[in-house]
């Protein structure tokens, strides 16, 4: 198809409404998506704000067409382009060169692993900080290759690259941090035919940190130099994706690929309990669990049959605070449950299946992995407005509430509203909305197809 025809198709595609796109068949959706992606991929040098905003709008319209495309089975024409290409996933984070075994079930591993599963290739996750991986984790990722290295350094990462680059057909990065620009440049010199994909793990706070003069950092070196070498750049939040595409415009378009969940084969179906649930690193500064505990104290007096569960390993920093909390409010010892351990996935799914409300009080967050789990099990959501995707995560308020961070009274108000809504059980219409939102946006079966479509368009 010549360029003139592609431009004509792209212009026509921009006139479609979301409702009309959802009525298209695979062939029509795919044709329009390809045209829009073709245009967006060539908008790399952005001369002005108007052009940047145009690129943002083209990318956003392409995402709606791709939503429709991935609703259909993946065609052989896509899988054949990627068949047999080995997928490698390194850890290139500032001062941290290894993964933990818990990260095997997160996007940093699952993006590459699931891609390899649908394209019939091998996936390699490196470096891992343990040789003894829990079988309860490995059972979710049969066939994954893990590479152990004791106390790896940045030098070990480059040594691995030099020794293995001939086998590294697809390099999948999680985040773009300081070492990434040098690493991807070296990889491209060694493998000009290689493909690089990244989920940027980017949020506005990270951008502010990069551009704060006090931090003496360089957004050009950290972000832009790496992006110029990367074939497909994606981000897990629409908010930051739009920001990167338009203000300031990055050297490559950024597409949407988010954290999700591998749909459980036999999800537990248990009676709902009057429980507000939160899951994560309990007590870490990034979670602000103290606010949730403080808000629940007066709520428990009004609703004495409700409990609060905080599931995950407990950070030492919050333990003195918890001692003071339970000393001041001894009655809360029976109403606040903190197991202080890592739950296996099957156990964790049971907790979601029993809970009615899921709450996150993070001062800053993209879309955490736990969200898709809570969504799948139909929990009513209560999130802080400091979570940049909170409106999207609550489906614009249809499956949850958003409170003003860090106002305790606002959190109390929204939790009370959630309790009253779920007191007699989660309404069927709520459970249906949650499942529809999950099916469209957070099912890894569709997310992995998004990645495959993007990579299949790369000409080498």
pLDDT in tens, 42-101: 998 788 889 999 999 999 999 999 999 999 999 999 999 999 999 999 998 877 899 999
Q: Which of 235, 202, 223, 222 is nearest to 364 (CA)?
A: 202
pLDDT in tens, 341-363: 888 999 999 999 999 999 999 98
CATH numeric code, 79-260+443-456? 3.40.50.2000
Residue at token pair 């614009």: 396
Q: Can you give the pLDDT at residue 385?
A: 95
Rounded to an integer, what distance in angstroms lies between the CA atom of residue 358 and that of residue 88?
Answer: 34
Q: Where are the domains of the chain?
A: 3-69, 79-260+443-456, 275-441
Strands 307-311 and 145-148: unpaired
Neighbour-count burial of 172, counting CB atoms closer than 10 A to its CB (0-12 exposed, 13-18 middle, 19+ buried): buried
Q: Which of 356, 367, 446, 385 is nearest to 111 (CA)?
A: 446
Q: Can you give the pLDDT at residue 24?
A: 97
pLDDT in tens, 208-242: 777 777 777 677 667 888 899 999 999 999 999 99
For residue 406, pLDDT over 80 is answered with: yes
Our CA angle for 289, 420, 300, nearest 5°, is 45
Q: Can you give the pLDDT at residue 1?
A: 67
Residue at token pair 């773009």: 176
Fold of 275-441: Rossmann fold (3.40.50)
CB atoms under 10 Å from CB of 438, counted, come to 21
For residue 330, pLDDT over 70 is answered with: yes
pTM here is: 0.94
DSSP output for 45-70: S--SHHHHHHHHHHHHHHHHHHHHHT
Q: Can you give the pLDDT at residue 212?
A: 75
Residue 122 and residue 87 in contact, taking contact as beta carbons nearer than 8 Å:
yes
Residue 177 and residue 94 in contact, taking contact as beta carbons nearer than 8 Å:
yes
Q: Can you give the pLDDT at residue 219?
A: 72
* Lowest-pLDDT range of 40-44, 195-199, 321-325, 435-439: 40-44
Share of the chain above pLDDT 70, in %: 99
Residue 408 and residue 295 in contact, taking contact as beta carbons nearer than 8 Å:
yes
DSSP-based three-state secondary structure for 443 = strand
DSSP-based three-state secondary structure for 337 = strand
Rounded to an integer, what distance in angstroms lies between the CA atom of residue 296 and that of residue 11?
Answer: 52
Identical fold, 79-260+443-456 and 275-441 = yes
List the 336-337 sheet strands across, edge first.
Answer: 336-337, 307-311, 275-279, 357-360, 380-384, 400-403
DSSP state at residue 281:
S
Rounded to an integer, what distance in angstroms lies between the CA atom of residue 61 and that of residue 57?
Answer: 6
Classify the C-alpha dihedral 101-103-108-113 as positive or negative.
positive
Mean pLDDT over residues 237-250, rounded? 88
CB atoms under 10 Å from CB of 103, counted, come to 20
Classify the C-alpha dihedral 136-137-139-143 as positive or negative.
negative
CB atoms under 10 Å from CB of 95, counted, come to 9
Residue 158 makes CB contacts below 8 A (sequence gap 6+) with: 183, 186
Residue at token pair 């290295």: 149
For residue 448, pLDDT over 70 is answered with: yes
Q: Which of 112, 38, 119, 108 is nearest to 77 (CA)?
A: 119
Q: Can you give the pLDDT at residue 325?
A: 98
Mean pLDDT of the chain: 93
Helix (H) or strand (E) run with residue 278 in it: strand 275-279
Mean pLDDT over residues 169-178, rounded? 90
Token pair recorded at residue 340: 């202080």
Q: Can you give the pLDDT at residue 459?
A: 87
For residue 202, pLDDT over 90 is answered with: no
CA-based Rg of the chain, rounded to a whole angstrom?
23
């Amino acid at each position: 198809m010549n360029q003139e025809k592609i431009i004509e198709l792209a212009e026509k595609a921009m006139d479609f409404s979301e409702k009309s796109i959802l009525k298209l068949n695979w062939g029509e959706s795919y044709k329009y998506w390809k045209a829009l992606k073709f245009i967006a991929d060539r908008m790399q040098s952005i001369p002005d704000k108007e052009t940047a905003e145009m690129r943002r709008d083209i990318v956003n319209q392409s995402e709606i067409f791709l939503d429709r495309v991935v609703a259909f089975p993946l065609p052989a024409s896509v899988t054949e382009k990627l068949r047999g290409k080995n997928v490698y996933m390194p850890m290139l984070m500032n001062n941290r060169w290894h993964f933990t075994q818990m990260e095997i079930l997160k996007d940093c591993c699952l993006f590459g692993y699931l891609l390899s599963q649908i394209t019939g290739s091998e996936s390699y996750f490196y470096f891992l900080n343990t040789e003894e991986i829990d079988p309860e984790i490995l059972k979710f990722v049969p066939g994954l290759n893990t590479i152990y290295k004791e106390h790896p350094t940045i030098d070990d990462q480059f040594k691995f690259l030099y020794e293995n680059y001939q086998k590294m057909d697809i390099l999948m990065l999680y985040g773009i941090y300081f070492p990434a620009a040098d690493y991807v440049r070296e990889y491209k010199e060694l493998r000009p035919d290689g493909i690089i994909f990244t989920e940027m793990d980017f949020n506005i706070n990270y951008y502010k940190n990069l551009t704060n003069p006090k931090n003496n950092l360089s957004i050009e070196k950290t972000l832009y130099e790496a992006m110029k070498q990367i074939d497909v750049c994606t981000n897990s939040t629409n908010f930051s994706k739009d920001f990167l595409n338009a203000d300031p415009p990055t050297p490559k378009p950024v597409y949407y690929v988010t954290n999700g969940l591998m749909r459980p084969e036999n999800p537990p179906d248990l009676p709902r309990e009057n429980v507000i649930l939160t899951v994560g690193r309990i007590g870490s500064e990034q979670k602000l669990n103290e606010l949730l505990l403080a808000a629940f104290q007066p709520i428990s007096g009004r609703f004495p049959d409700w409990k609060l569960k905080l599931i995950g390993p407990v950070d030492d920093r919050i333990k003195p605070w918890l001692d003071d909390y339970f000393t001041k409010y001894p009655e809360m010892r029976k109403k606040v449950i903190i197991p202080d351990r890592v739950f296996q996935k099957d156990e964790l799914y049971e907790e979601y299946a029993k809970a009615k409300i899921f709450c996150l009080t993070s001062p800053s967050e993209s879309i955490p992995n736990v969200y898709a789990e809570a969504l799948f099990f139909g929990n009513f959501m209560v999130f802080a407005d400091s979570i940049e995707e909170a409106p999207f995560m609550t489906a614009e308020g249809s499956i949850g509430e958003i409170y003003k961070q860090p106002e305790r009274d606002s959190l109390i108000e929204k939790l009370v509203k959630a309790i009253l809504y779920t007191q007699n059980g989660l309404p069927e219409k709520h459970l249906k909305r949650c499942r529809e939102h999950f099916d469209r946006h957070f099912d890894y079966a569709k997310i992995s197809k998004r990645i495959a479509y993007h990579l299949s368009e790369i000409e080498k």
